[in-house]
């Protein structure tokens, strides 16, 4: 939800060492509709200096205008325009590396033949030893069919690979799990379920990713029933955990009692439906929901929610969450004084936070403030470390509460790169699994090597 679709380019400029040259250059970028990120001094001479400037634009046409304005700036020469995003993705962002150097014949004999045969025979006699003597205990399959990639939609599994690699990077760097992207060239739920179930022995958990609704509900449910390892569709539950934490923090900041608030969910796809379910589990109260799909409204009603029209929902609720992808869906005149508005669609929210505040909202935020990465790494770490078969609703709520506990005063959410937050989420999930009697292994907290 924290994804924002902007073009980013690094422009290398040579500027004269004359008063006002850099100031005019920054003004030219702003006047062209662009914005500037990092500025790095590359070379400084007596007469000229070279800088790399990260420039953001809405599209290619605007980027061309910005670069043209930079070139026209007196005293500036544009040397190069680079796409550092594409450069970073060259040959992919992840790789499998050996944990031990194979630097002698003695080591070779221990890690491969003949020594490895002893480990194989032990596992053949006791399959549980695979968790101790193989990488299965930290392998997570990140599975997609490419039907709901970011906000781009059905662009296919190959085009979704960069996202899966990114998820794997975050898992490894934040909690030490090894994510393995799995691209499925099928949209048939039967084939997807059969394929994932067949490869499941390789992994300690399955993360379903960017699979479109309503197919995602069936696929997750069937895999959970078949497998004895955790299966989580991140677009549902990871999003719901992080959004629930945001709602709890927003209520704290706005001085509202969540247990007494009427909550409305606009959009009941994978994320919206899971958010509604999680909030109903937390508060014990029905959530009002609206969606264009009659099937989505039926699912909400069966889960204990109340279908409503958009106008009914906006008029009757204290807290509004929107995950529709429809820019400007919420009009300022729909907002009533004191409401909490979380318009989470990216890159364009259902209503801009400032517009909601100007209309009387007590608190408003968009998807840039609510980052999914706060959820899934710690949830999987805690679930894998206790070897649960499934992640319970209570474990998800424990994760949300841990995020709230880690949120600094005055902030909506913690820093998504704060490893302490992810350790706290993992610990809370594991402790809840133990309390519920779901743990099949003694919990040993992950410590970064």
For 102-116, what is each residue's pLDDT tens digit?
999 999 999 998 989
Alpha-carbon torsion angle 344, 347, 349, 350, nearest 10: -110
Q: Which ranges of 386-418 does DSSP label H, i.e. alpha helix?
A: 393-405
Element (H, E) at 3: none
How far is residue 55 CA from its own chain's centroid?
Answer: 24
How far is it, in rounded angstroms, from Cα 172 to Cα 14? 39
Catalogue all structural domains in the chain, each as residue range(s) with its CATH number.
7-88 (3.30.70.260), 105-235 (3.40.50.10380), 238-369 (3.40.50.720), 372-435 (no CATH)
Q: Which two tokens stand for residue 372?
A: 């999914």
Beta carbons of 391 and 439 less than 8 angstroms apart: no
Q: Does the pLDDT of residue 306 top 90, yes or no?
A: yes
446 is catalytic: no
Burial class (CB in 10 A: 0-12, 13-18, 19+), 114: exposed
Element (H, E) at 392: none
Q: Does the pLDDT of residue 3 top 60, yes or no?
A: no
For 411-428, what is each residue's pLDDT tens digit?
999 999 999 999 999 999
Do the strands 48-57 and 7-16 form a parallel or antiparallel pair, or are they unpaired?
Answer: antiparallel
How far is it, in rounded angstroms, from Cα 329 to Cα 339? 16
% pLDDT > 90, the chain: 84
Q: Which of 6, 100, 122, 167 is catalytic?
A: 167
Provide the pLDDT for residue 4: 53
What mean pLDDT value characterizes the chain?
A: 93
Provide the pLDDT for residue 449: 64
For 176-194, what is each residue's pLDDT tens digit?
999 999 999 999 999 999 9
Beta carbons of 333 and 358 less than 8 angstroms apart: no
How far is it, in rounded angstroms, from Cα 357 to Cα 344? 15
How far is it, in rounded angstroms, from Cα 373 to Cα 350? 22
Q: Does the pLDDT of residue 6 top 80, yes or no?
A: no
Q: Does the pLDDT of residue 130 top 90, yes or no?
A: yes
For 254-269, what is each residue's pLDDT tens digit?
999 999 999 999 999 9
The mean pLDDT value for 238-249 works out to 96
122 is catalytic: no
Neighbouring CB atoms inside 10 A of 124's CB total 10
Beta carbons of 275 and 321 less than 8 angstroms apart: yes
CB burial of 182-199 (b: ≥16 within 10 Å; e: otherwise) equals: bbbeebebeebbebbeee
Residue 126 is given by DSSP the state: -
Q: Which of 6, 43, 112, 331 is catalytic?
A: 112
The mean pLDDT value for 198-221 works out to 96
What are the strands, taking DSSP E only, across 304-360?
306-307, 319-322, 340-343
For 389-403, what is each residue's pLDDT tens digit?
999 999 999 999 999
Beta carbons of 379 and 432 less than 8 angstroms apart: no
Q: 146, 321, 143: which is closest to 239 by C-alpha? A: 321
């Amino acid at each position: 939800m924290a994804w924002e679709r902007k073009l980013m380019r690094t422009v290398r400029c040579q500027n004269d060492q004359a008063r006002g040259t850099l100031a005019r250059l920054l003004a030219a970028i702003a006047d062209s509709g662009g914005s500037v990120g990092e500025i790095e001094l590359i070379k400084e001479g007596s007469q000229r200096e070279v800088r790399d400037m990260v420039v953001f634009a809405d599209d290619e046409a605007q980027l061309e205008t910005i670069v043209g304005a930079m070139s026209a700036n007196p005293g500036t020469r544009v040397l190069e325009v680079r796409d550092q995003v594409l450069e970073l993705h060259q040959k992919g962002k992840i790789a499998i590396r050996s944990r031990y150097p194979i630097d002698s014949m003695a080591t070779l004999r221990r890690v491969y033949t003949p020594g490895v045969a002893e480990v194989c025979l032990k596992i053949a006699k006791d399959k549980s030893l695979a968790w101790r003597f193989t990488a299965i205990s930290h392998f997570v399959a990140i599975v997609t069919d490419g039907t709901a990639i970011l906000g781009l939609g059905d662009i296919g599994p190959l085009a979704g690979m960069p996202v899966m690699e990114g998820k794997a990077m975050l898992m490894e760097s934040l909690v030490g799990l090894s994510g393995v992207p799995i691209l499925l060239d099928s949209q048939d739920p039967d084939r997807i379920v059969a394929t994932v179930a067949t490869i499941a022995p390789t992994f300690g958990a399955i993360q379903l990713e960017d699979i479109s609704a309503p197919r995602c509900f069936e696929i997750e449910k069937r895999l959970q029933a078949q497998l004895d390892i955790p299966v989580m569709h991140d677009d549902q539950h990871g999003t719901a955990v992080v959004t629930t934490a945001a709602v709890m923090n927003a209520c704290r900041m706005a001085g509202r009692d969540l247990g007494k608030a009427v909550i409305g969910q606009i959009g009941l796809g994978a994320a919206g439906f899971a958010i509604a379910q999680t909030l109903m589990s937390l508060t014990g109260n029905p959530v009002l929901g609206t969606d264009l799909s009659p099937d989505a409204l039926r699912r909400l009603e069966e889960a204990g929610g109340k279908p409503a029209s958009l106008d009914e929902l906006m008029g009757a609720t204290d807290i509004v969450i929107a995950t529709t992808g429809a820019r400007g869906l919420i009009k300022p005149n729909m907002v009533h004084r004191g409401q909490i508005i979380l318009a989470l669609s990216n890159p364009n929210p259902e209503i801009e936070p400032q517009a909601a505040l100007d209309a009387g909202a007590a608190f408003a935020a968009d998807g840039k403030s609510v980052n999914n990465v706060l959820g899934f790494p710690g949830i999987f770490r805690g679930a894998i470390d206790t070897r649960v078969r499934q992640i319970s609703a209570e474990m998800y709520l424990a994760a949300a509460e841990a995020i709230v506990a880690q949120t600094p005063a005055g902030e909506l959410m913690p820093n998504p790169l704060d490893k302490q937050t992810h350790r706290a989420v993992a610990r809370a999930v594991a402790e809840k699994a133990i309390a519920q009697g779901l743990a099949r292994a003694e919990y040993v907290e992950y410590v970064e090597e």
